[in-house]
Amino acid sequence: MRTADQLVGEYLSHLRVEKGLSKNTTSAYQRDLRRFLDYLQSFDLEVDSLTSATMQEFVAQLRGKGGASVLAESSISRAVVAIRNFYEFASKEEGFLNPIKEFAPPKIPKRLPKALSITEVESLIANAEREGDLISLRDVALIELLYATGGRVSELVALTTSDISKLGEEDTLTIRLQGKGGKERIVPVGRYAQQSIDQYLVRVRPALVKERRTDSVFLNTRGGTLSRQSAWTIVAGAAERAGIVQHVTPHSLRHSFATHLLDGGADIRVVQELLGHSSVTTTQIYTLVTIDRLRESYASAHPRAK
């Protein structure tokens, strides 16, 4: 029988090559499986000797039993799915029964995504630019594009110059985003974001490229591709200067993009396509936000609502 580490390596390769999962997803699975294998090793257990009871004890430890660090329920749920799917793969490779085939991950309570108000988004963008700091035009372009497209931060930092094009007689700017599983989508870009990206490409990016040959759109001060961590810092800094109390991340702009489109009457199928969701069920959580706002408006405005 192959070792546990060999099986995990083959499984992760299977996810990347055959399933087309993103680097971020496979990295998360790798961490989950490493934690799990360390747990088995601490009890001198082999991969094929796992029982449902042992799996329950592992989940209990993830929740904090025995002094271990506590993980969020969403992280525990992902870990259970990663381990269960790994065992499905390993059992077929090694010919043993999957002992946790029916083991269910914890149910995650449905949380409404927190969207910024339109005023907060405008303030965020305004505070991304810093007087006398030319590179802040890059920060404005990044935040404008996050909000204009609803793109994930990983998709935006991976953007290349060949992903940007203009279509039609009116030269409407569009960008090509590569989402989860390598799925591509084309997203139109509004006038404000277009002006910001044009300013950045003309006035700032050429100076950042320096001697490097790179087609990445968003660059750091050394001319390399801007990291996801740097993008988070840019958004957080603008939010702090804008005085926005709630925790603001690049994903907050994705939530705001979807919520504001639905508030404005956009079809949910269109929003699904723009977000790159494979199922409309994922997009439907945003409809709960708009219904909640309708309820609040009704309660405050209707004379017989209370």
Among all residues, which ones are annotated catalytic? Answer: 152, 180, 251, 254, 277, 286
- Among 229, 241, 255, 247, which residue's Cα sits nearest to residue 136? 241
CA distance 222 to 140: 19
CA distance 267 to 265: 6
DSSP alpha helix (H) spans, 135-215:
136-149, 153-157, 191-203, 205-209
Amino acid at 11: Y
Q: Which residues, 6+ apart, have CB-to-CB distance to 56 below 8 Å?
A: none
CA distance 119 to 159: 27
Residue 68, φ and ψ in degrees, nearest 5: -70, 160
Give yes or no for a contact between 241 and 127, defined as CB atoms under 8 angstroms apart.
yes
Tokens standing for residue 42: 């601490």
Residue burial 225-244, b: 16+ Cβ < 10 Å; e: rest: bbeeebbeebbebbbeebeb
Give yes or no for a contact between 192 and 141, defined as CB atoms under 8 angstroms apart.
no
